[in-house]
Amino acid sequence: MISFHNVTKSFGSHMILNKVTFSIKAHEFVILRGVSGAGKSTVISLLIGDEKPDTGSVEVDGVLVSDMDPETLQLFRRRVGVAFQDYKLLPRKTVYENVAFAMEVCDEPDEVIRARVPKILEKVGLLQFQDKFPEHLSGGERQRLAIARSLVHSPRLLIADEPTGNLDEMNTHGIIEILKKLHHEGVTILMTTHDPNILKLVDARVLTLERGNIV
């Protein structure tokens, strides 16, 4: 499903990735581990087409991400769910509206939105909070909402960027259980983390990124 081949990426004189090569098969659960600044977020940016590699190639399903035109890239991103560490929630919209908005911007019919949003919220344990605003949610609940929003288009691939980075142990376990459930349903999971304790909670293949290299 995913292939990085000899990918190099620098910002100015600072090299972030140095000839990085790895692959992820469909239906795998893979953890990309590394300290803060190791290049994990850059891998994600390259994977979703926010950045282009200086050298090397990034492929998803045999298609070069860097070769996608804007329209194709937009359609591709709808097939990839991304949940960010800082949530990127809309503070003036309720839990329900945050998820619904992700469908509205893609011109989904109202009846589809009304049918699908409650099912997604139930899947992540937030249905009872659908009328609350993000400021009234705990950190764990906000991360669940970020994951819920990433599921609106039933993605085959879910990227979870440090989803437990700001959470306590109980909420960390809750988020991991959601990801494991999605994986069991057939979703390919790529999760980044700097926390070695996460490795004890899930049976996943681990890639370690260190100083711009997979080690």
| pLDDT tens by residue, 49-67 | 999 999 999 999 999 999 9
Higher pLDDT, 178 or 84: 178
Check whether 78 has a pLDDT greater than 90: no
Find tokens 């100083």 and name the residue. 211
Q: How many residues does the chain have?
A: 215
The pLDDT score that the predictor gives to residue 79 is 87
How confident is the prediction for the chain on average, in pLDDT?
A: 94
Domain borders along the chain are 1-79+155-215, 89-154
Query: Which band of pLDDT confidence, cut at 50, 70 and 90, is reported for residue 18?
Result: very high
Residue 121 has pLDDT above 90, yes or no: yes
Q: State the pLDDT at residue 37.
A: 86
pLDDT, residue 171, reads 92
List pLDDT tens digits, range 143-196: 999 999 999 999 999 999 999 988 899 999 999 999 999 999 999 999 999 999
Entry pTM? 0.92
Q: How confident is the model at residue 110 (pLDDT cuts 50, 70, 90)?
A: very high
**pLDDT score for 116:** 96
Strands (E), the chain: 2-11, 14-24, 29-33, 55-60, 63-64, 80-83, 157-161, 188-193, 205-210, 213-214
SS3 assignment, position 196:
helix
Q: What is the model's pLDDT at position 166? A: 82
Candidate CATH numbers 2.60.40.420, 3.40.50.300, 3.40.640.10, 3.40.50.410; the one for domain 1-79+155-215: 3.40.50.300
Token pair belonging to 213: 């290299």
